[in-house]
Chains A and B, each alone.
Chain A
């Protein structure tokens, strides 16, 4: 499926070597957030609100401070005032101000000589609350009479007359939607809902922070982006970014949830108050579920018109999303453009409102907004396909976006692979398996923009001809291996001779986090440019020694070669020879590149799932699962497959099991993994993958990000497969056994 006009036949790109961090990770030596310790270190614990919404009347820490071994307590009173905008939101979420806004909202923190003592002390901090009315459901938050949680929260975009909990409004579209619906043979309109889910990384948030009275500090933390941690922590604490040095640990999963701060600044605030002793803070799982992540919950009205031949004539969608008690956190800005991004439809109308509710401040979660949008739109397309007895892949081939299509959100697509994923799914053996009783098949496509972002990378040639690469994007799923392969390919040296290190904030320019499916794309692109810069310098050194023009030297197979009229005049000079004498030929040789990377290239995928539904219990079993997605070029195919499989598994969990369950009291009912049930090994089949490669012209090796799209299609694909198996359409996730059973019974 690769294009003929793009260079292939790479030596290292496209191979599957062992990852450089593999040995440390299978032996227990890899150091994650909670594995780091310092001499004299204290341990911290956080006091959290048991109420969904309450005024904080009084905080009395005297009993805690009286305990021997308790060194410091911090509350909001210890934080600077006068912050605005998102900085204020971050500070409000780090420690509540005059009101606790959700169950689990941090109210105070304490540091002591042991973790057990800190927990004892936290229990002795007495907080007096005045409980206030709350609302947690997205639709209930917009209902007349719902308590207005944060008066005046609406920004300029919100039209007059909307509910007081509406914080933002968006609208865009093109074409004549009414004429489009009039031209359709069938027009259907339904409401779909998705519950909030958590990223569910297995490693809880953890940080060690140290700050002296001079306001200079250091932090060791598990994060997807340590420059973000630095900027946000500095803002919350009122210190200068340059005075905070942040070193990322290995990271035990993030999926978007570790791109922001939660409790990290507390380690610094406590450390400063405790005379500069370092402070470790590790969240419990219930703290993670109650107070970090999650994603938004959504309620969506979709209307689509289709002709009998499958042509989609018009579509419209209205989103209501809540991203917690803080404005700007729901991904309406991503969900709306994603909704119809897989299609080329002449008339579309998009509208969305963001609603505030008494829930934790939402964080990014893998393709933020796209899975919800896909659940609504792809479910509706499937409903129309079934009603008109049309093949769901043929309908998508007919209406799907292709090269040159103007996307639903504006830009024209160039070199995208949606059609190729559909063709590959159609041709796959899974699509031809005959289904048995109580079995159904679902198909859905998915989209993610991908991302470039601020990127800074350095490369240094060693005295022995090896290369050290310094990147600023934490490696979560094998990106060091992929970047190492690209640098090896560029320099023409063995993969084993390249070491890629994720370095701290003091070692590079600002890097955005590993988010938006950007790390392998953007850090890889910058690493290749840095290698090219080093190559240029090495050619110059060789030319000087040969006393010829630098332009008359070319680089291949890890060595400088005389070229043009000088070809063959001198033996090639290897990177090892050049490196060994660089001190005497002009000094160390390095390369550096920084860029806000563009040309990231949109990502598309298509999934096919077969399920069997037990008509007695409503339990859904996934029989087989196929992910087809465009990777541009798969640098390390095993980790590309891993992204596809992992994304599908998270989407399957969202479709079948996972949801935030709030009680009438506004408290989270399931803040443990036993009750917030992510897929386990026995829930899933093998996840088949097909890597489509439509090289991205915006990257030297054709890479496009692969991390995010995979979570998007499972939500509608599973619901559609259940509809195929039972005749019952679930329009509200998750498709839990009781819900599916009720739908089957209603159908009988």
Chain B
């Protein structure tokens, strides 16, 4: 089976690779581009550990073929911190919102996508938005608190900047 030439942008960097037609975006990120921050927990779109955004849309990268990323803009956990940590990343550490940390990249990517759409969510909105991101360690309590604390800080910063 011949491979497909894929040209895409990952975390702002132009990248090219040859994808097996059956290869998922998740496998291409991890195995071809060495971006192992995105995790596979299920491979069936149930756990959210592989969450990335493609052209700004939150997707499970295990459910998308690598070839479908051609010409798209992909953002992963590795692109989340700029010069300093994103407030969500900082608050997750401060609130002990991770234990094993395996679900954390996917949850951070998903939470960032939430706050971009809804900067002031209720706890229930946070819980339903993150319902596709399984965490087995924390019981979600500290995750919800960390997201809300980051959201509050980002609203404050936004007001400060305005």
Contact = CB atoms under 8 A, between A and B. Distances in A.
Interface in A453-487: 476-478
B43 A116 contact: no
A646 B81 contact: no
A154 interface: no
Contacts of A28: 35-38, 76-78, 80, 105
A638 interface: yes
B96 interface: yes
B81 to A, nearest CB: 6
B23 to A, nearest CB: 7
A28 B86 CA distance: 13
B155 interface: no
B100 interface: yes
Contacts of A650: 136
Contact of A201 (B43, B100, B131): B100
Interface in B28-43: 30-31, 35-43
B47 A682 contact: no
B5 interface: no
Contact of B99 (A115, A476, A681): A476
A23 B93 contact: yes
Interface stretch (A30-38, A315-323, A607-615, A734-742): A30-38
A681 B41 contact: no
Given A204-B40, A284-B43, A681 B126 contact: yes
Interface string A248-291: 00111111000000000000000000000000001011000000
B57 interface: no
Given A116-B22, A201-B136, A21 B101 contact: yes
Contact of A253 (B22, B36, B100, B144): B100
Given A645-B139, A646-B137, A26 B92 contact: yes
B137 A253 contact: yes
Interface string A284-303: 11000000000000000000
B139 A648 contact: yes
B59 interface: no
Nearest to A202: B41
A116 B131 contact: no
Interface in A179-238: 199-204
A218 to B, nearest CB: 20
A674 interface: yes
B94 interface: yes
A115 B27 contact: yes
B49 interface: yes
Contact of B103 (A30, A202, A649): A202
Contacts of B89: 26-27
A98 to B, nearest CB: 32
Contact of A203 (B39, B43, B80, B138): B39
Contact of A252 (B36, B94, B101): B101
Contacts of B144: 681, 686
19 contacts: A26-B105, A29-B37, A30-B101, A115-B31, A116-B20, A200-B136, A202-B49, A203-B41, A285-B41, A641-B96, A642-B142, A646-B136, A673-B46, A678-B136, A680-B131, A680-B132, A681-B143, A682-B128, A687-B141
Interface of B: 20, 22-23, 27, 30-31, 35-44, 46-47, 49, 76-78, 80-81, 85, 89-90, 92-96, 98-105, 108, 123-124, 126-128, 130-144
Given A116-B22, A642-B142, 14 more contacts: A27-B85, A34-B40, A201-B102, A202-B49, A202-B102, A204-B41, A254-B100, A282-B40, A285-B44, A650-B136, A673-B46, A681-B143, A682-B124, A687-B139
